[in-house]
Structures are given as C-alpha cells and as structure tokens.
Amino acid sequence: MSLTNIYLSSRRRVLLSLAALALSACAQMAPVGDPLPSWKDGAAKDAIVQFVRKTTDAGSPQFVPPAERIATFDQDGTLWVEQPLYAQVMFALDRVKDVVKAQPAMANEEPYKSVVTGDRAAMAQFTEQDIFKIVVATQAGTTLEEFRGIVKAWAATAKHPKYQRPYTELVYQPMLEAMKYLRANGYRTYIVTGGGQEFVRALAEAVYGVPPEQVVGTMLKTDYAMRDGVPTMMNAPGLFFVNDKATKPVGINMIIGRRPQVAFGNSDGDQQMLEWTTAGTGARLGMLVLHDDAQREYAYGPANGLPDSKVGTFPQVLYDEAKRKGWTVISMKNDWKRIFAFE
C-alpha cells in the first residue's frame, strides 16, 4: 500500500465513522413500531395518535410549538390504582403509628386514636377533615429531604391489600405508554393531583419519569428555618393549598403558567382541569379513565352504572359533559389490552 493509499484510506475511515454517527443520530429519531402497544385499536388510541400527529406536524394548521406542549395527568385513578383508598391515605394510616410513638400525647386524640387502636368502624366514619389532619400529622415536622425518604421507604415495603404488590407496581401500563409517547413528541408531562405534592414528588421520577418540578399537588405549609445553624426547609403543620376540582386550574397556573394542551383525569376532581384545558384554542385533548373492569382492577362510579364512590367518583353529569365536549372516555375493560406491567 502506498502512502497515498494509506492517507486516503484513513481519511475514508474518518468519513465513514462520521457518517455512521450521523446516521445513528437519525435512527434515534425514527419511530419504532407501535408506541401504544397496551392500547387496543379503537377510538381512545386513535384520539391520542391523531392529536399528536396534528399538533407536531410542522405543516399542520393545528401545529403546537414545542414550548407550549404541556400534558397534565391526574394521578390517583388515572395513573395508578386509587381503590380501596388513595395510596397516600394508606401511607398516612401506616405512618401515623410512628408519629404517635414519638408524640405519645396524640394517642388519646382523635382521629389518631382510632387509627392507632385499629377501630375500623370509627375510621369508616372519617370525614375529609379527619383524613387531612392525619395526612398533615404524618408530614409536619420533617425536613423536605426526610419526608421524601420516609415515603420512598414506605413505598419499598408497603403492599396493596388486593394485589399484594407495592403500590408503585399498580401503575397503568397504557398510561405510562401515553406519557412516554407524548414526551417522545416534545410534550412535557405534568402530574396534577389532589394528592400531596411532596408525597408524589418522592415517587414520580422513578415511577413515571416525571421530575419534581412537574408535580402540581396539594401543598402543606413549609417553613425556612435554621436548624443547628443549617438552613433547612421544614414541612409545617397546616394546609397551604388544596389542588382539587376548581383549584386544579389554579394549581396549574401557579406551577406551569400555561394552559395545557392535554389533560387526563378520571373523576369529578378533574372536571375543571379538563374544561379549562379543552376550552383553549386549537387542538386540545381531554380524556377520562372509566373504571369498568372489576376483573382486572375495580368497577365504580355512576358513569359505570354503579353507586357513587367516596374515592374518585365519576358522576353521570361528568360523563354527559365529556360526550358533549368531545372528550374521550377510556374504558379500562375495552380499550386496554393489559392494565399492569406484571400481567
């Protein structure tokens, strides 16, 4: 081989490897197969795919600039199981026992007393106020970091009574796929939950790929304080903001400052979020998960011909509004091939 040949050949190798680099970058952008494999073909799956196409195709009249691609998801009953009780309530009922151990005076005080003594009849009568009191008691007095650690430790060991699996496995696989598909198309996915913002932040990144700055939730008061000379953020007793029903748009504006293009919910707690989202100009996507699969999950709520549920109810009036406004109702039974990854 002449020197010229060596020169040419090595130059060609560089070109080839650069070309390979460029091609592999292209390959990463290309769609690979069905992005929603756990969804049956039908209106619900179509609604998502068509919405993404028309809002991301640069030639479409309904194109949405990447910066404005915001998708909001309720959590309980929309992303994971909410029956028989919200996961955070399960957490709080477990944790209140530890709190009472550290502060024994609480043992004689309601609603903590009923929990500690395991008085199921009394617990069944708990008001929303009682539940909030317990939730606040299990968070107040911890630092931000401590509380997130406590939640993670609980989630690593606690098991759901029906499935006997960690709550973090009771995530709807079709919804994970929808979130990933939206993200792959430039949408930022936010969780907008009535649950505690700090509770959800502790788990959302690992479970959904949703970072802390994309969690809008119910907020406890927090206090900045020096603790042994160290600047510390403490969870304080007292509710600061309840993110539910008509305050979901308020929470969304507070954290995001934009009207979402997409909203997924499953109950009357999500009604105003869907209304506000879908009343925006251009293409909007509103979807509601209907719990109609007693076999694989749960069946509840009037929209499913069943009585009101204390946990995440889907009233007939919301169903009627969905039909009127062109929101898609997702039947867990008929639209989802599988519900959980472990199936």
Residues that bind its own copies (CB under 8 A): 12, 14-16, 18-19, 21-23, 25, 67, 144, 197, 201, 211-213, 215, 219, 222-224, 230-231, 233, 246-250, 253-258, 272, 275-276, 279
Nearest to 303 by CA among 264, 263, 266: 266
Comparing C-alpha atoms, which of 101, 73, 75 is closest to residue 88?
75
- State the nearest-atom distance from the C-beta of 112 to its own copies, in Å: 27
Provide the residue type at 316 as one letter: Q
Q: How far is the CB of 298 from its own copies (least distance, A)?
A: 29
Nearer to its own copies, 69 or 160 (CB): 69
Distance between CA atoms of residues 171 and 83, nearest Å: 13
Q: CA 225 → CA 28, 139, 230, 235, distances in Å?
A: 47, 16, 8, 11
Q: How many Å apart are CA 325 and CA 96, to the nearest integer?
A: 43
Closer CB to its own copies, 20 or 294, in the complex:
20
Q: Is 320 exposed, middle or buried (0-12, 13-18, 19+ CB in 10 A)?
A: exposed
Q: Which of 199, 204, 179, 194 is nearest to 252 (CA)?
A: 194
The nearest distance, CB 225 to its own copies, in angstroms, is 8
Q: Nearer Cβ to its own copies, position 15 or 294?
A: 15
Element holding 307 (H helix, E strand): none
Q: Any idea which residue has 């994309």 for tokens? A: 214
19 or 184, CB closer to its own copies?
Answer: 19
Shorter beta-carbon distance to its own copies: residue 85 or 255? 255
**61 vs 231 by CB, closer to its own copies:** 231
What Rg, from alpha-carbon coordinates, does the chain have? 24
Task: Work out how close the CB of 104 gets to its own copies at its nearest, in angstroms, rounded to a whole number.
Answer: 31
